[in-house]
Amino acid sequence: MTKKDAKKNDLLYERKNFFKDASQAEQDAAFSYAEPYKEFLDQAKTVRETVAYVENLLKKHKFQALGAKNAKKRVYSIFRGKTMAFAVIGSKPISEGFNMVAAHIDTPRVDLKQNPLYEDASSTMACMRTHYYGGIKKYQWVSTPLALHGAIIKKDGSVLEISLGEKEDEPVFIIPDLLPHLARKEQYTKNLADAIDASRMNLVFGGMQEPNNEDKEAVKLYALKQLNARYGITEADFISAELELVPATRSRDAGIDSSMVVGYGQDDRICSYAALTALIDNLDAKPSKTMIVYFSDKEEVGSQGNTGAQSVFLEDFVGRLLKANGECDSSANLRNTFMNSQILSADVTAAMDPNYPGVHERQNATLFNHGVGISKFTGAGGKSGCNDANAEFVAKVIRIFNDAGVYWQMGALGKVDEGGGGTIAYILANLGAEVIDCGTGLMGMHSLYEMCSKADLYSTYRGYKAFLTSL
Ligand code: MN
Ligand code: MN
């Protein structure tokens, strides 16, 4: 290398391409890491399923419920089956500050209405009315195989978990789209956003009836009989149920080089999985600072409610951690603890889309294969609604990543004034902690087939792992 070249390399910043620069061992590790990740995506398609999956894994690694008599250094807490936090207590007092990775586990989907089932007179079919959840493009959810997941509360109060349409021998469900031959007036004259009317996103649920049955709604009745035989439920049980339609497809490799993963719910289960495995793989680290992973619900609809990031759950969890660790759990010390802490708001960002480069600003957008994305701020317009991470903290996170050899890049979501989006970062920052958005770039975010790069998935995991044990 000449003297002139060295100077040039010192002067310029250039993000690195994982597949160009990483060792063969690292590339192999990235591919291996993606295998159990795909299984996780297939097994945890709803909030409740994710919580159950994570709890099961935590128990295998000797985590105990926070507050249990014999609970020691590895603890977790679940609230209403939809939000959870888990921690490994460090050697230093928690009030001196913890390291947290915080992701959300809810995903855009199509829910059944509370009175869903009806017999459609025009077609003589049993159908289900739906109400979508989160920011979906409605046209993506029609004419695609859907599985029914959820919870039905039985008359004795017990919870019946449902999953129908995932196994090969189980039926799937379809919201049929209109055939192109007859779509000229109904769809082609309309805006993309209006072409599929939410009131016409009804699921075709069944079509049979019993022979010689003269009942008025014999097809609906037959569908109810099927449901009753399968689950022991009646029509009234729908009223309190939480039933969700999610893609019935499995996640799988994508691309001729299999360098990508395509699957449903990667916003934000990719960051959830990376955070979960980062903590578990740090169990032998004997950290000085307490490591926490937090999974929130309702992010896709604004983080409200008793399981959203705006709820008291997280503060309560940290307060109880303080108490369990023999520290003061006063309101003042809880505030002090958060103000001493640092958090990665672990959520996905938009990766450069080869079909729509114009909505991104390349220099500040994530590119596939260039590592985990760091977003100093999110929001819309003039940074509206953003958490703007402090420069000192941005620099610190970059230092941590560089020291650990993590591939990273800046990850602004779109061009200024192109649109925008938010995460739970500002909610956590309101508690006083240093917070920055840090997550994987996806193509096709919020679609049924979101896509990530295995290099970025692995870099996200490695970044979270280094952050959790940082000082
Ligand atoms: Mn998200
Ligand atoms: Mn989202």
Q: 3-state class of 261 per DSSP?
A: strand
Number of structural domains in the chain: 2
Q: How far is the CA of 177 from the centre of ligand 2 (A)?
A: 24
With residue 59 as reference, give the H or E element that holds it.
helix 47-60
With residue 254 as reference, give the H or E element that holds it.
strand 252-254
Give me the CATH number covering residue 194: 2.30.250.10
- Counting ligands in written order, which one lies closest to the CA of residue 135? 2
In a domain, 254, yes or no: no
Would you give the DSSP letter of residue 33?
H
Same domain as 345, residue 320: yes
Same domain as 158, residue 45: no
- Counting ligands in written order, which one lies closest to the CA of residue 347? 1
- Counting ligands in written order, which one lies closest to the CA of residue 423? 1
Q: How far is the CA of 150 from the centre of ligand 2 (A)?
A: 20
Please tell me the predicted confidence (pLDDT) of residue 422. 85
Question: Which residues of the chain carry a pLDDT beneath 70?
Answer: 1-4
- Counting ligands in written order, which one lies closest to the CA of residue 268? 1
Same domain as 203, residue 190: yes
Q: How far is the CA of 437 from the centre of ligand 2 (A)?
A: 13
Q: How far is the CA of 267 from the centre of ligand 2 (A)?
A: 6
Asked if 267 and 452 touch (Cβ cutoff 8 Å), the reply is no
Give residue 149's domain range: 109-247
Please tell me the predicted confidence (pLDDT) of residue 115. 97
Please tell me the predicted confidence (pLDDT) of residue 2. 57
Q: How far is the CA of 349 from the centre of ligand 1 (A)?
A: 8
Give the Cβ contact number of residue 367 at 10 Å: 18
Tens-digit pLDDT profile for residues 114-172: 999 999 999 999 999 999 999 999 999 999 999 999 999 998 899 999 999 999 999 99
Q: How far is the CA of 64 from the centre of ligand 2 (A)?
A: 31
Q: How far is the CA of 443 from the centre of ligand 2 (A)?
A: 12
Tens-digit pLDDT profile for residues 245-281: 999 999 999 999 999 999 999 999 999 999 999 999 9
Q: How far is the CA of 91 from the centre of ligand 2 (A)?
A: 36
Please tell me the predicted confidence (pLDDT) of residue 4. 64
Q: How far is the CA of 225 from the centre of ligand 2 (A)?
A: 37
Starting at the earlier edge strand, list the strands of the sheet with 109-120. 159-164, 146-153, 242-247, 109-120, 125-133, 203-206
Same domain as 115, residue 101: no
Among 188, 213, 247, identify where a domain stops.
247
Q: Give the separation between CA 136 and CA 267, rounded to whole angstroms.
A: 12
Task: Check whether the bond before 177 is cis (ω within 30° of 0).
Answer: no
Question: Which residues fall within 8 angstroms of residue 183, CB to CB, at 6 or more apart?
Answer: none
Cα–chain center distance at 223: 33
Q: Are strands 379-380 and 420-421 parallel, antiparallel or unpaired?
A: antiparallel
Nearest to 90 by CA among 69, 77, 102, 73: 73
- Counting ligands in written order, which one lies closest to the CA of residue 270? 1
Q: Give the separation between CA 328 and CA 332, rounded to whole angstroms.
A: 9
Cα radius of gyration rounded to whole Å, the chain: 24
Q: Distances from the Cα of 42 to the Cαs of 20, 246, 396, 397, 429, in angstroms?
A: 30, 11, 35, 32, 32
In a domain, 252, yes or no: no
Q: How far is the CA of 395 from the centre of ligand 2 (A)?
A: 26
Asked if 273 and 38 touch (Cβ cutoff 8 Å), the reply is no
In a domain, 410, yes or no: yes
Q: How far is the CA of 446 from the centre of ligand 2 (A)?
A: 6
Same domain as 227, residue 117: yes
Question: Tokens 């996640």 appear where?
Answer: 251
Among 247, 282, 302, identify where a domain stops.
247
Q: 3-state class of 45 per DSSP?
A: coil
In a domain, 193, yes or no: yes
Nearest to 362 by CA among 372, 354, 352: 352
